[in-house]
């Protein structure tokens, strides 16, 4: 009888211990789950607030609508290979927003449309910023040369318009100039003319730019 009582007590004790362990295990798993949920929530909050306030992702469609494009030239390229001749196309394009940003690029592809797309994309990646004085013209006269082509740019009074060839007009118009004199000397190749025009626009400087480079005030520079 005593042995049976002892065995019963032992079994009861073991059952109590098992139930206690089960409760503790359940509690621990619940605590771990809560901790993991909190960690996940904090990570999500960190991701949410990682982006700086005021940052707006630029839309490609917005970029395309802001800039205009003009195709300068499309040429067919012939490559002689072992099996015969292989034809492709090369396109040259100018893009600009008419607010002081302009770029020039070229692209090659087996189809004309693909070549144009590559040229426009290349031009968008090579944009430069040019100064516009009085919202219409360049700050000073400048002349630049590329290979056998030479381009002269002169400021014009308001209302004069753009006096230029079709090639130079495409560049200065997309840059944002509405009054300008231009003159082309030497070779009239479109590609070389565009290169010379872009070089000239890159070297334009305003009075403020020159004063900053010389570390003097604008008033002193204008007096001289």
194 and 167 belong to one structural domain? yes
The answer to whether 50 and 168 are in contact (CB under 8 A) is no
86 and 140 belong to one structural domain? no
The answer to whether 156 and 125 are in contact (CB under 8 A) is no
Domain assignment of residue 109, yes or no: yes
Interval 82-95: pLDDT, tens = 888 888 999 999 99
Q: Which residues contact 223 (CB under 8 A, 6 or more apart)?
A: none
Confidence class for position 174, pLDDT limits 50, 70, 90: very high
pLDDT at site 120 = 93
> Cα(first)–Cα(last) distance of the chain, in Å?
123
Other C-beta atoms lying within 10 Å of the C-beta of residue 34? 10
Residue 113 lies in domain: 61-128
Domain count for the chain: 2
pLDDT at site 83 = 82
Domain assignment of residue 159, yes or no: yes
Domain assignment of residue 170, yes or no: yes
Interval 205-216: pLDDT, tens = 876 766 676 666
Last residue of some domain: 89, 105, 128? 128
134 and 196 belong to one structural domain? yes
Interval 11-54: pLDDT, tens = 565 555 555 555 555 555 555 555 555 555 555 544 443 444 43
Domain assignment of residue 43, yes or no: no
Domain assignment of residue 224, yes or no: no
CATH of residue 182: 3.30.230.10
CATH of residue 65: 3.30.160.20
Last residue of some domain: 73, 98, 128? 128
| Beta bridge pairs of residue 105 | 93
- Which pTM value belongs to this model? 0.66
109 and 156 belong to one structural domain? no
Map the chain to HEC letters.
CHHHHHHHHHHHHHHHHHHHHHHHHHHHHHHHHHHHHHHHHHHHHHHHCCCCCCCCCCCHHHHHHHCEEEEEEEEEEEEEECCEEEEEEEEEEEEECCCCEEEEEEEEECCHHHHHHHHHHHHHCCEEECCCECCCECCCCEEEEECCEEEEEEECCCCCCEECCHHHHHHHHHHCCCCEEEEEEECCCHHHHHHHHHHHHHCCCCHHHHHHHHCCCHHHHHHC
123 and 161 belong to one structural domain? no
């Amino acid at each position: 009888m005593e042995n049976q009582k002892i065995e019963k007590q032992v079994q009861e004790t073991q059952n109590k211990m098992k139930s206690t362990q089960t409760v503790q295990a359940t509690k621990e798993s619940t605590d771990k789950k809560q901790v993991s949920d909190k960690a996940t929530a904090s990570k999500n909050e960190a991701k949410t607030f990682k982006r700086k306030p005021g940052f707006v992702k630029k839309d490609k469609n917005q970029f395309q609508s802001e800039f205009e494009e003009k195709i300068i030239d499309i040429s067919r390229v012939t490559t002689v290979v072992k099996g015969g001749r292989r034809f492709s196309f090369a396109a040259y394009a100018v893009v600009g927003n008419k607010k002081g940003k302009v770029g020039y690029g070229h692209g090659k592809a087996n189809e004309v449309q693909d070549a144009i797309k590559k040229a426009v994309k290349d031009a968008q990646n090579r944009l430069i910023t040019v100064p516009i004085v009085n919202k219409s013209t360049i700050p000073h006269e400048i002349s630049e040369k590329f290979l056998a082509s030479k381009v002269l740019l002169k400021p014009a009074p308001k209302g004069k318009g753009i006096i230029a060839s079709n090639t130079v007009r495409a560049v200065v118009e997309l840059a944002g100039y509405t009054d300008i004199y231009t003159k082309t000397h030497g070779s009239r190749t479109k590609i070389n003319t565009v290169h010379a025009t872009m070089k000239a626009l890159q070297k334009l400087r305003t009075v403020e730019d020159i004063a900053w480079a010389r570390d003097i005030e604008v008033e002193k520079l204008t007096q001289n």
